[in-house]
Structure 1
Amino acid sequence: MNILENAVDCIKNQGKDYKKYSNEWNVMQQLIDIITAQPESAEIVLQDLNVEEMQVPALVKKITSKKIANPVEVMNAICDFYSIPKPSELPPEVWRMNKTSPAPAKSTEEQGFINLMDLL
């Protein structure tokens, strides 16, 4: 198992009690997204996760107590917490990605509407 996988597993384990899609869970998922987009940060985060004051619950408490609603501000706060580089844009949401091939796109008829361009 590589460092990134170890870090993701550790994050998920520390946040296993968070209700899916809750604010706390979203902070945890955004941390996973950040280190997946920046694998070089995974080692720093993994080391920090061994220190009680740097574990996921401490991060989540700090972020949620500030009631930050903007995802970019949350990303910046996470990066500041772990002293890792801030991405220039929000990383893609890894947890939403399907590990298998995406489903084929439905035709406009199957979607329940007709594209007028199909009639030309």
Structure 2
Amino acid sequence: MNDLQKALSLIEAQQKKAGAETPAWCVGQQLADILNGQPAAAQIVAEDLGTTGMGIADCEKKIAEFASKNRTGNVGFCGPADADRIIREFYGIPKLEIVTAKTQAAPAEHRRKAIRLEDFL
């Protein structure tokens, strides 16, 4: 069993214990999605999931704490970007940098030089 499979099976076991569609179950789903995109982080997450105080229910408490600090009236809220950040911080998973044509600087030899009309005279 590789590290990703191990981490995913630990998440699934903790989700069963928490119950379907509970907040902790949702954290497990999001964590599994993160690991599927970044399988290199699976080893450390698998180790963390076996440690007391590092389960998906413990991570969900951090998200709930954030939500209670961000109240509007009687309702606390934690959006998906904040939940992703909290889960990544909790398990020490680096944020995945998405490289696009806009964000990627072209190497110096491929950059277009400025063209001046004087160059053609």
Could you say which residue in structure 2 is the equivalent of 1:62? 62
Which structure 2 residue ranges, 5 or more long, are not aligned?
68-76, 99-121
Query: Corresponding residue for 1:43?
Result: 43
Quote how far apart the aligned CAs of 1:4 are.
0.3
Q: Measure, in 2, the Cα distance between the counterparts of 1:58 and 1:85.
A: 19
- SS of alignment partner, residue 93 of structure 2: coil
1:74 maps to 2:83:
yes
Say which structure is richer in helix: 2
**What residue is the counterpart of 2:32 in the other structure?**
32
* 8 Å Cα contact 1:63/1:74 also seen in 2: yes
Which 4+ stretches in 1 moved above 6 angstroms?
none
Identity of aligned residues (%): 36
Task: Quote the residue 1:8 is aligned against.
Answer: 8
TM-score calculated relative to the size of structure 1: 0.66
Uncovered stretches (5+) of structure 1, i.e. residues with no partner: 90-120
CA contact (8 A) 2:66 2:78 kept: no
Distance in 1, Cα, partners of 2:34 & 2:9: 14
Cα distance, 1:52 vs structure 2: 0.3
RCO (CA 8 Å, sep 6+): is it higher in 1 or 2?
1
Find the structure with the greater CA-based Rg.
2
One-letter code of the match for 1:23? P
What is the total number of aligned residue pairs between the two structures?
Answer: 89
Alignment of 1:84-99 (within 5 A): 84-88=93-97
Q: TM-score by structure 2 length?
A: 0.65
Instruction: Say which SS state the counterpart of residue 54 (structure 1) adopts.
Output: coil
Distance in structure 1 (CA, Å) of the matches to 2:29 and 2:17: 13
